[in-house]
């Protein structure tokens, strides 16, 4: 995709576009490379994180401010906040094939947290909470396919029953 070409790596997983066009998009994408400034490097990394987790600028800024006020290393806390979002955990558990699909499953009320239906993709999941799929949603093709071919030991911070 265009975004993957912009960063030179697959943002949403493996991307075959990079094997065909391994240069940035746009009129001057294939011209000579210039040295990126320190600001440019930081901006690219921030944009990469935003696109990877599917978070808009304002949400990302709010998460950063929350991470900045918390004690500890700001970057690690920011990643913990991003990884703790409900849509990301649904993706990490393997219930959905992509983060976008996970976000849609959450917003369409297919996912429960501690038995309660939650339809907010940015919901901050706390340790010990139980994420599940609604009984009537288990017959959905996307969920059934994902649960059939699931690898249970991918992420040490998530437990699967």
The pLDDT tens digits for 64-81 are 999 999 999 999 999 999
Cβ count within 10 A of residue 56: 8
Q: Give the span between the Cα atoms of 91 and 106, in whole angstroms.
A: 10
Radius of gyration of the chain, Cα coordinates, nearest whole angstrom: 18
Longest dimension (CA), the chain: 55
Contact 104, 84 (CB under 8 A): no
- 104-145 residue pLDDT tens: 999 999 999 999 999 999 999 999 899 989 989 888 888 888
Q: What is the mean pLDDT of the chain?
A: 87
CATH no., domain 84-148:
3.10.290.10
pTM given for the model: 0.83
* Domains of the chain, residue spans: 84-148
């Amino acid at each position: 995709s265009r975004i993957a070409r912009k960063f030179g790596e697959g943002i949403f997983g493996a991307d075959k576009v990079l094997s065909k066009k391994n240069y940035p998009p746009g009129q001057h994408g294939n011209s000579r490379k210039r040295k990126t400034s320190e600001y440019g490097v930081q901006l690219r990394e921030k944009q990469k994180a935003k696109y990877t987790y599917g978070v808009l600028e304002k949400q990302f800024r709010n998460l950063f401010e929350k991470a900045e006020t918390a004690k500890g290393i700001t970057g690690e806390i920011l990643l913990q906040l991003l990884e703790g979002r409900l849509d990301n955990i649904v993706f990490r558990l393997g219930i959905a094939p992509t983060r976008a699909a996970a976000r849609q499953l959450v917003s369409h009320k297919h996912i429960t947290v501690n038995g309660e239906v939650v339809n907010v993709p940015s919901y901050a999941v706390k340790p010990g909470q139980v994420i599940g799929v609604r009984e009537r949603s288990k017959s959905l093709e996307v969920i059934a396919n994902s649960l059939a071919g699931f690898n249970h030991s991918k992420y040490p911070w998530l437990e699967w029953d």
